[in-house]
Amino acid sequence: MGSARLIDGKAFAAGVVERVRDAADRLREACGLTPGLAVVIVGDDPASRLYVRNKGLRAQEAGFASFTHVLPADTDQATLDNLIAELNIDPAVHGILVQLPLPAHLDTTAVLSAIDPDKDVDGFHVVNAGRLAVGLPGLVPCTPLGCLMLLQAELGSLSGAEAVIVGRSNIVGKPMAQLLLGADCTVTVAHSRTRDLPGVCRRADILVAAVGRPEMIRGDWIKSGATVIDVGINRVPHSDPVLAAAGKTRVVGDVAFAEAIEVAGAITPVPGGVGPMTIACLLANTYSAACRRAGIVPDRI
Ligand code: NDP
């Protein structure tokens, strides 16, 4: 049995959702405003539909209005653009989320750019990426925001810490780097061309893995006592060969958990670590978008 503390993202996320619900209640009492989240999905990918359903349910649990738009897989660009344009001007909608990936015939960049940046609760619009880069208030991508909240809850001040992020995607790695820089860490962003990745990881007081490769980060890549945030969600065959032969799978992170727990100071499990924080931060973003729309300073979540 290892020594690392488990960072319970599920419990932490439940607390965030509760705080968002209380803040939304106060907003409703103060000015009759109910935050509204619109989720758009194109096609019938079962995993995406499940995500969308969960997002709608969580929004309702937080006392939000929830609007789900399910469009057929052959929806054309103009139809989707029109829907986004309607949601942009709908006063009951404060957050718009388009579930990705979109079918290949649709232009994802164009769709994301069409969302009003102040309703872009995923934080993927270039305006919000720019705001984050220059330190202006804006909507921050939910997964890295959730990671930052877990790190601050675990460590308090992050000032001066050596942070290494493995992965440089626009939705996780890059915004994570901006957030950690904003929290006064010394930040290194590693990727598939990084030389001596194990050596780079070993420097980290804070190691964030956002790669999408099952258990790639081994225990001996981790500095003793480091805080490890595993963003990866990878479906692999079940560890029991009989169940695997029957097609059963399990979910693992980007970090070899059993090895890492022997070395790290604290670590997020997969599942139950970062994943639940993503939806919680989506609700927090929708709440703050509703406040800003009404010219009210959002309560701290
Ligand atoms: P992307 O595929 O967009 O990016 C992966 C990054 O990892 C790239 O920057 C890539 O480098 C880098 N990489 C790939 N292979 C290696 C390697 N061998 N060595 C070093 N770096 C490597 O993935 P995402 O950022 O979208 O997602 C990452 C993981 O996080 C996935 O498992 C995803 O499922 C999960 N995820 C989880 C969420 C949650 O809610 N918990 C939300 C979003 C994602 P390069 O740029 O050079 O190609």
Answer yes or no: same fold for 32-118 and 142-274.
yes
Q: How many CB atoms lie within 10 A of CB 280?
A: 27
- Give the N- to C-terminal CA distance of the chain in Å, as an integer: 35
**pTM greater than 0.85:** yes
The answer to whether the CB of 77 is under 6 A from ligand 1 is no
DSSP 8-state class, residue 76: -
Say yes or no: CB of residue 188 within 6 Å of ligand 1.
no
Closest residue by Cα to atom 47, ligand 1, is 192
Is residue 72 pLDDT above 80, yes or no?
A: yes
Find out whether the beta carbon of 192 lies less than 6 Å from any atom of ligand 1. Answer: yes
CATH number of 142-274: 3.40.50.720
Q: Give the model's confidence band at 102: pLDDT under 50 very low, under 70 low, under 90 confident, else very high.
A: very high
- How many angstroms is it from 197 CA to the middle of ligand 1? 15
Residue nearest (by alpha carbon) to ligand 1 atom 8: 167
Q: Over 90: is that where the pLDDT of 38 sits?
A: yes
- Contact call for residues 59 and 280 (beta carbons, < 8 A): no
CA distance 141 to 129: 9
Look at domain 32-118 and name its CATH class: alpha beta
Query: Taking the C-alpha atoms of 73, 116, 17 and 5 in order, what is their torsion angle to the nearest 10 degrees?
Result: 90
Band (pLDDT 50/70/90 cuts) for residue 267 is very high
Q: Is 278 in the pocket of ligand 1 (CB under 6 A)?
A: yes
Strand order in the sheet with 95-98: 65-71, 36-42, 95-98
Phi, psi dihedrals of residue 205, rounded to the nearest 5° = -80, -35
Average pLDDT, the chain: 96
Work out the pLDDT band at 44, boundaries 50, 70, 90: confident
- Cβ-proximal residues to 94 (8 Å cutoff; 6+ apart), any chain: 35, 36, 37, 119, 121, 286, 289, 290, 293
Q: Give the model's confidence band at 51: pLDDT under 50 very low, under 70 low, under 90 confident, else very high.
A: confident
**46: pLDDT strictly greater than 90:** no
Per-residue pLDDT at 1 exceeds 70: no
* Closest-CA residue to 65 (of 290, 276, 279, 278): 290
**pLDDT tens-digit profile of 104-159?**
999 999 999 999 999 999 999 999 999 999 999 999 999 999 999 999 999 999 99
234 lines ligand 1 (CB under 6 A): yes
Give me the residue spans of the domains in the chain.
Answer: 32-118, 142-274
| Residue owning the nearest CA to atom 30 of ligand 1 | 232
Candidates 288, 241, 266; CA nearest to 19 is 288
CA within 13 Å, CB half, 175: 25
Q: What is the mean pLDDT of residues 24-35?
A: 95
Atom in ligand 1 nearest the alpha carbon of residue 166? 21
Q: Is 233 in the pocket of ligand 1 (CB under 6 A)?
A: yes
Q: Over the stretch 175-217, which tens digit does the pLDDT of each residue have? A: 999 999 999 999 999 999 999 999 999 999 999 999 999 999 9
Q: Residue 155, Cβ neighbours under 10 Å: how many?
A: 16
Residues assigned a catalytic role:
55, 99, 122
Tell how far the Cα of 211 is from the centroid of ligand 1, in angstroms.
Answer: 3
CB neighbour list of residue 253: distance below 8 Å, 6 or more residues apart: 209, 214, 215, 230, 231, 232, 233, 234, 268, 269, 270, 273
Q: Atom 48 in ligand 1: which residue has the minimum CA distance?
A: 192
Question: What would you report as the CA-atom Rg of the chain, rounded to the nearest whole angstrom?
Answer: 20
C-beta of residue 281 within 8 angstroms of C-beta of residue 16: yes
